[in-house]
A = this chain, B = another copy of it.
Amino acid sequence: MAPAASPLAYIPFVSVENMMRLVHHHGIEQVLRDLAEEIEGDYRRWDMFEKAPRLASHSRDGVIELMPTSDGQTFSFKYVNGHPGNIVKGYQTVAAFGLLARVDTGYPLMLSEMTLLTALRTAATSAMAARYLAPKGARTMAVIGNGAQAEFQALAMKAVIGVEEVRLYDIDPAAKRKAVHNLQGSGIRVTSCDTAQDAIEGAQIVTTCTADKAYATILSDNMVGEGIHINAIGGDCPGKTELHRDILSRASTFVEYEPQTRIEGEIQQMPPAYPVTELWQVVRGDAAGRRGSREITLFDSVGFAIEDFSALRYVHGKLQDGDYCHQLDMLADPDDPRDLFGMLQRAA
């Protein structure tokens, strides 16, 4: 990198390697707890944020999305793809990076990997939602779909609400074995199950996080008993759902940002009048969360830009603690800002 450029030209960049160092320095469970708290804090000031459905570019193979938001002081956006076929090519289904910037100058504050950070913030959001929506004292969860998100979900539910047992099921035994293996030594009791029905046996929380891009029925109506909390992660774009619509008819449904979830979430199966509650209203105490022990609650989670904002701000706040970034020469910074051409000319 150019040693000659001025400090304004440089943007701190958090690589994958540095994100992993940062997470291990603080401990994964602590990071998940901290992220849940950051996200909850930003949900409390929901009305301060600029909100829009994400900008999605759909293609045959998947989707590329830009997810911006701003609280008036700080702007953030995430670039994220969703390509279910990537797995067989050896690529991640979801890969992401993001940026934090100052609203008053428009200058970036930090560029960061967000594949790991998205996995962490998605799990932290689920756990934060479960605090309001899961039955009191829930200690057992099922995780159906044991891909990249599975272990993060289990660990966040342990760290944030004290889940003690996780029951795993995936249509692919290799994925299930991977999750069982990774959760050894985590302090969570792990049970490998042969069917989805088996997995949800005795679970108070059922997390679905499969990646198929199709109207799938991971949970059918007769599988879902009274009083459980469903945390549906995998239905997150048009044409992609995981739950039978009869479950939705019986459940009280909570969403992040209604206009986006109507397009992308499980509720895309339902008529526009199907009632939902935005989670921030519950967090603020403006709406009820779980109303009784027999209610079926559903968090129809598609991921929202404010959660990425919270996560990026958390990481940015930790940069001072250690050497977790390096400096990218990303912005042209002439001595006289109007003299961009002169800067180029003098570099000849």
A residues contacting B by CB (< 8 A) are 1-2, 5, 8-9, 13, 15-17, 20-21, 23-24, 28, 50, 52, 55, 57, 59, 61-64, 66, 68, 70, 72, 75, 77, 79, 81-83, 86-87, 89-93, 95, 97, 99, 101, 103-108, 113, 115-116, 119, 146-148, 150-152, 175, 178-179, 181-182, 326, 328-334, 336-345, 347-348
Contact = CB atoms under 8 A, between A and B. Distances in A.
Q: Main SS of the interface on chain A?
A: mixed
B64 A57 contact: no
Contacts of A16: 2, 5, 9, 329-333
B2 A337 contact: no
B344 A95 contact: no
A95 B331 contact: yes
B17 A59 contact: no
A61 B2 CA distance: 30
Contact of A55 (B2, B59, B68): B68
A15 B95 contact: no
Contacts of A23: 344
A338 B55 contact: no
Number of copies: 2
Given A106-B81, A115-B332, A339 B182 contact: yes
28 contacts: A1-B326, A5-B16, A15-B330, A16-B330, A17-B347, A23-B344, A50-B57, A57-B103, A61-B103, A61-B106, A64-B103, A66-B77, A77-B79, A81-B107, A82-B106, A87-B338, A91-B337, A92-B332, A92-B333, A92-B337, A95-B107, A116-B332, A147-B338, A148-B340, A148-B341, A150-B341, A179-B341, A181-B342
Nearest to A344: B20
A301 to B, nearest CB: 18
Contact of A86 (B105, B108, B148): B105
A182 B2 contact: no
A115 B86 CA distance: 33
Nearest to A66: B66
